[in-house]
Amino acid sequence: MNLISERIISGQNIELLDLGCGTGRFSIPIANRLGYHVTGADNSEEMLLKARKKDGAKRVNWDMQDATLLSYPDASFDAIFMSHLLHHVDNPSDIVEECYRVLRPGGTILNRYGSMEDIRGDPEHKFFPETIEFDEVRTPTRKQVEELFRKAGFNNVSSKVLVEQPYPSPEVRLRGAELKFTSVLTLINQSAFEKGLENFRKYISNNPNDQWLLEDKITFTSGKK
Ligand SMILES: C[S@@+](CC[C@H](N)C(=O)[O-])C[C@H]1O[C@@H](n2cnc3c(N)ncnc32)[C@H](O)[C@@H]1O
């Protein structure tokens, strides 16, 4: 939240679009804690349904949208935030160009993601090495994201890497893998998946206090229109 408020122009009545908002993991705290007018947009009705249920304060405007072809008029928002979205589409530049169009002059784009150079070393890719070939095709590096932003017309493009600790224990991370929470785990074959889980479990029982099992390196790339 601190980084989001740091990067986004300050002022009253800021209109922020959370693109590919999923179940509102960010849209809801951005609206409640930072006080922006937030639109959470996603192309999955199922995700939006869950988001609406979580949004007790009802501060977010939930909207069904395809991020590659937004229905908003030009210059509709002061800021666009997106998290783990670009690797879901064949041409991420379609999304970034739409962001440029719907942002007001001076507006900010902020992308939160695991860049290819960082995710390569995380537990999901180490224990399930078959995921690498899929992610190498769809997951951009930091430099590629920065290039996409500049090509679409954004200025002041820069990235910051944070180490986040989203997992309270290694077992919670393992449970996420078992449920294929990381979408690339749905792409590998069943025997690779089972072998990976076995290695993951063994590693946890031999190294229960390894901090690597709890952390993710996350990049925030921002730019100004
Ligand atoms: C990995 S989830 C991230 C959700 C949320 N931003 C977060 O970080 O918790 C990716 C989300 O992007 C959505 N998505 C994928 N392609 C999309 C598209 N073309 N337009 C809008 N949303 C899309 C999915 O439905 C999903 O909710």
Tell me: the pLDDT tens digits for 111-137? Answer: 999 999 999 999 999 999 999 999 999
Rounded CA separation 142/125 (Å): 18
pLDDT of the chain, 225 residues: tens digit per residue: 999 988 887 777 999 999 999 999 999 999 999 999 999 999 999 999 999 999 999 999 999 999 999 999 999 999 999 999 999 999 999 999 999 999 999 999 999 999 999 999 999 999 999 999 999 998 999 999 999 999 999 999 999 999 999 999 999 999 999 999 988 999 999 999 999 999 999 999 999 999 999 999 999 999 999
Mutational pocket test of ligand 1: of 85, 96, 183, 184, the residue with most ligand atoms within 8 Å of the beta carbon: 85
**Distance between CA atoms of residues 21 and 124, nearest Å:** 23
Pocket test for ligand 1, best of 1, 43, 62 (most atoms within 8 A of CB): 43
Atom of ligand 1 nearest to the CA of 95: 19
CATH node for 1-113: 3.40.50.150
User: Ligand 1: does its nearest atom lie under 6 Å from the Cβ of 68?
Assistant: yes
* DSSP of 80-123: EEEES-GGGSS-HHHHHHHHHHHEEEEEEEEEEE--HHHHTTSH
Q: What is the pLDDT of residue 73?
A: 98
With 0-12 CB in 10 A as exposed, 13-18 as middle and 19+ as buried, what is 17? buried
At 132, list the tokens.
């690498």
Whether 17 is in the pocket of ligand 1, judged by its Cβ within 6 Å, is no
What is the layout of strands, in order, in the sheet containing 216-224? Answer: 61-64, 37-42, 15-19, 77-83, 103-113, 216-224, 155-164
